[in-house]
Amino acid sequence: METLGWPFFEDRHRALAAELHAWAERELPAQHGDVDAACRDVVRRLGDAGWLGHAVPPLDVRTLCLVRETLARVDALAEFAFAMQALGSGPISLYGTAAQRERWLPRVARGEAIAAFAISEADAGSDVAAMRTVARPDGDAWIIDGEKTWISNAGIADQYVVFCRVADAERAYVALLVTPDDAGFSVTARIDTIAPHPLGTVRFDGCRVDADRVVGEPRKGLRVALGTLDVFRTTVGAAALGLARRALDEALAFAAARRIFGKALAEHQLTQARLARMATEIDASALLVYRAAWTKDGGAARVTREAAMAKMYATEAAQRVIDDAVQLLGGRGVTSGHPVERLYREIRSLRIYEGTTEVQQLVIAQQILEAHANPIER
């Protein structure tokens, strides 16, 4: 990988990225059929090979980013599967008790259990505080009522971390572990998207879970949600970076081989300008992504500004890079099933989930305005 010589990385990161890329090229299927079966298969492969061990503690954000970037460059569905194992179990990794970690994380790491992160609702996406799913304490248990939608792994997950508003309080939230076997839990719909992934709506009708399923402090669930996203938001930028790198790979190979007007497409100045712009966008994205990851691994309590910048810029830049690749390849770029056409569909959702580009802009602006108002604390 082109950036591994940068000082953000240690030798262990470089070795991991090289080994993972070779494994992914060798072991991941070239095509996927049924999306649910494909996800289960990829999770099992990642678990058997030990890669899911990086999705659970001790979490290293640079490693998470390198895994997502490397997998995205080879196979977007494998990247999605790894990402959801990490994010879906992230609240437990970061805020769970020792007993919860021991109970819930080993099967995730072995690929024997699929994890999900359930926070979004029909009217509460990026504005997580607007959620309406409620949980009320009932003796030594909590009872959940409401609905979550756009939930990745809905219908195939073995465990869900569900974020709810506490019923008897206006600004209190709770994170609860739910399994498909819990009474009152159901998957009510599956959602088809332009890039097929297991996505759907889950419902809770008097769903009762024991108090030992609370992740973090009972009435501070929003802190669990935002703290988890603060760690994993950077890795979304890394996934976009991997997609962009694959687009540049495809564009370079095509430009070098395609002849037009008597010479290679790569010899035309307009092509060279496009390739130069693509490469620069990729390097700029990598710098932002790995600055944020390195800062968090260095012990920073929060990387809200750095993560928002990395997520915003890398996803938007990847969209531009992939669009350039489609344009360069012409008819091949819009042919169904071509790698570049698949990338064009895969990148679009990354600009939306875990906080839209517009939300990241608001976060960044808030951070820099606060720093301006309190210059001593910078």
The residue type found at 33 is G
N- to C-terminal Cα distance for the chain? Answer: 33
Q: Are 153 and 88 in contact (CB under 8 A)?
A: yes
Q: Is 354 a catalytic residue?
A: yes
Placement of tokens 């909590």 in the chain:
142
- Determine how β-strand 134-138 pairs with β-strand 159-166: parallel
Candidates 25, 79, 354, 377; catalytic one = 354
**d(Cα 56, Cα 112) in Å, to the nearest integer?**
14
CA 64 to chain centre: 10
DSSP annotation of 181 reads: T
Closest C-alpha to 210, from 239, 180, 187, 178: 178
Closest C-alpha to 210, from 186, 187, 177, 180: 177
Placement of tokens 């500004």 in the chain:
305
The residue type found at 203 is R
Q: Are 199 and 239 in contact (CB under 8 A)?
A: no
Token code pair at residue 139? 């003796």
The contacts of residue 168 (CB under 8 Å, 6+ apart) are 136, 137
**d(Cα 227, Cα 236) in Å, to the nearest integer?**
15
Active site residues: 354
